[in-house]
Amino acid sequence: MIRRTAILSALVAAVGTVACAQQLLINAAGATFPYPMYSKWFDEFHKKFPNVSINYQSIGSGGGIQQVTAATVDFGASDGPMTDMQIKAFQDKRGAAILHFPTVMGAVVPTYNIPGVSGSINFTGEALAGIFLGKITKWNDPQIATANPGVKLPSSNIVVVHRAEGSGTTYIWADYLSKVSKEWEMKVGRANSVTWPVGLAGKGNEGVSGSIQQTANSIGYVELIYAIQNKMTYGKVRNAAGEFIQASLASVTAAAAGMKDMPEDFRVSISNAPGKGVYPISSFTWLLIPSKIADPAKKKAIKDFLAWMLADGQKMTPALSYAPLPQVVLAKEVKAIDKIQ
């Protein structure tokens, strides 16, 4: 028996060491917001370049920032752009700059599980702020009901679900709420990690969706594709022009349409953008790539991926309801790839 175990162990060791000996494995971690898109992209990229595997783990934007700063992953991803302090911390620690590369635009939707309500209900910005501040506690509260004439809302208590960890999706949500509610801006503010006045916590967009599915009368905020893929109901949000808009490819694309120019470092917020047909809780999401990559093979692979992403990758976004980058951004970004040394 000992001999058999030894042979088996040797086999495992051999397979483990030899398997994919030619494989270039690039590790990345970060946002759960674009995870469905990224996992599809990395899969397609792997099919095109079979010797490159990009292992992306969705641990939340906060995790992406932390791990890329600690250099335990080759690049990160976040939907909340890094703050100046975090950029400086990266610079101090790694001796190089961190570059933001926008990849897609997505929407954060208020998704809910209300027994008896199977359609999309309307939310004003103030109503959402009130719910997440814990001031609006029942579904049939007038602030929600007035926007939804004809919909029978129950009198049950609202169960709020938010993120447990540092999240770019949280940033986008909090950023929007800060713009529509002074009280929110003062009490909670905008960041990857906020102090939530109320609610249960789920891990990742995945965990929040899962929690909402399991909990009646709950509401949370997730990226659009999570609600769609899991057939969850999500609401319309009132935009700056006063219309109640449902998140979609068109309404998210419209959010960036008014953008005249993109800053050099690509950090910008498009939430609550003015204009008709705009979905107000839209955002870019970024890959965080160090400007200096030591390993030449990895550097080439990452640059190849970026080029591919900006060309072929963009064509795949509509299928997953993410909006492709606007032209003005694409052109600028292709040039920015050269900044990676």
Partner 1 sequence: MSVTAPTAFETRSSGRGSAFWQRLRSGDDIAYVITLTCAMTILAITALLVFELFTNSSVARRQFGWSFLTSNVWDPTGERFGALPFIYGTVVTSTLALLMGIPLGVGAAIFLAELAPTKISNALTFLIELLAAVPSVIYGLLGIFVLIPMLKAAEPFLRGLLGWTPLFSGPFYGQSLFAAGVVLTVMIIPFIISISREVILAVPTEQRDGALALGATRWETTWNVVLPFAKKGIMGSIFLALARALGETMAVTMVIGNQPEIHTSLFAPGYSMAAVIANEFAEATGELYQHTLIELALVLFGLTIVINGLARLLVLSTTRRGAG
Partner 2 sequence: MRLTLRRKIVNYVMLSLTGICTLFAVGMLLFILGYLFINGGRSLTWDFFTQLPKPVGETGGGMANALLGSAKLLLVATCIGVPIGFLAGVYLAEFGGSKFSFVVRYTTDLLNGVPSIVIGIFAYTVLVLPQKHFSTLSGGVALGIMMIPIATRSSEDFLRAVPLSLREGAMALGASKARTILTVVIPAAKAGLLTGIMLNLARVAGETAPLLFTSFSNRYWSPGWNQPTAALPVMIYTYAISPYADWKQQAWSAGFVLLMLVLAINVFARMVLSKRGHVVR
Q: Which residues bind partner 2 (CB under 8 A)?
A: 1-2, 9, 12-13, 15-17, 19-21, 23, 25, 27, 29, 35-36, 39-40, 42-43, 46, 53, 55-57, 70-73, 202-204, 206-207, 209-210, 212-213, 225-226, 229-230, 232, 320
Contact status: 63 vs partner 1 (CB under 8 A): yes
Query: In terms of CB distance, is 200 or 337 closer to partner 1?
Result: 200
Distances from the Cα of 288 to the Cα of 7, 57, 73, 209, angstroms: 44, 14, 11, 26
* Minimal distance, residue 109 CB to partner 1, in Å: 21
The entry of partner 1, partner 2, none near residue 66 (CB within 5 to 8 angstroms by kind) is partner 1
* Minimal distance, residue 215 CB to partner 2, in Å: 12
Q: How far apart are CA 109 and CA 180, in angstroms?
A: 16
Q: Which two tokens stand for residue 259?
A: 């953008």
Phi/psi at 302 (5° precision): -65, -45
DSSP percent split of the chain into helix, strand, coil, nearest 5: 45, 20, 35
Q: Which residue has the tokens 């990226």?
A: 223
Q: Which stretch binds partner 1 (CB under 8 A): 187-195, 243-251, 277-285, 287-295?
A: 187-195
Q: Which two tokens stand for residue 240?
A: 């700056």
Binding track over 279-318 against partner 1, x by CB under 8 A: ----------------------------------------
Binding track over 107-146 against partner 1, x by CB under 8 A: ----------------------------------------
**Bridge pairing between strands 52-58 and 233-234:** unpaired
Q: Which residue has the tokens 């001796």?
A: 95
* Minimal distance, residue 287 CB to partner 2, in Å: 17
Contact status: 209 vs partner 1 (CB under 8 A): no
- For residue 241, give the nearest of 254, 250, 253, 223 by alpha carbon: 254
